Amino acid sequence: MAESTAKQPARRGRIFPERILPPEELARRKAEREVFHKLCRAIFERVRPEYIEKNYGWYIAVEPNSGDYFIDEDIEIAHRKALEKYPNSVHCVFCLNETGATGRI
The predicted pLDDT at position 101 comes to 86
Q: Which of 3-12, 40-49, 69-78 has the lowest mean pLDDT?
A: 3-12
Closest residue by Cα to residue 60 from 74, 21, 83 = 74
Q: Tell me the pTM.
A: 0.76
The predicted pLDDT at position 105 comes to 61
The predicted pLDDT at position 85 comes to 95
Asked if the model's pLDDT at residue 1 lies above 60, the reply is: no
Q: How far apart, in whole angstroms, are the C-alpha atoms of residue 67 and residue 49?
A: 16
The mean pLDDT value for 48-70 works out to: 94
Contacts (Cβ under 8 Å, ≥6 apart) of 94: 40, 41, 44, 59, 60, 62, 100, 101, 102
Contacts (Cβ under 8 Å, ≥6 apart) of 73: 55, 57, 58, 59
Closest residue by Cα to residue 67 from 85, 52, 80 = 85
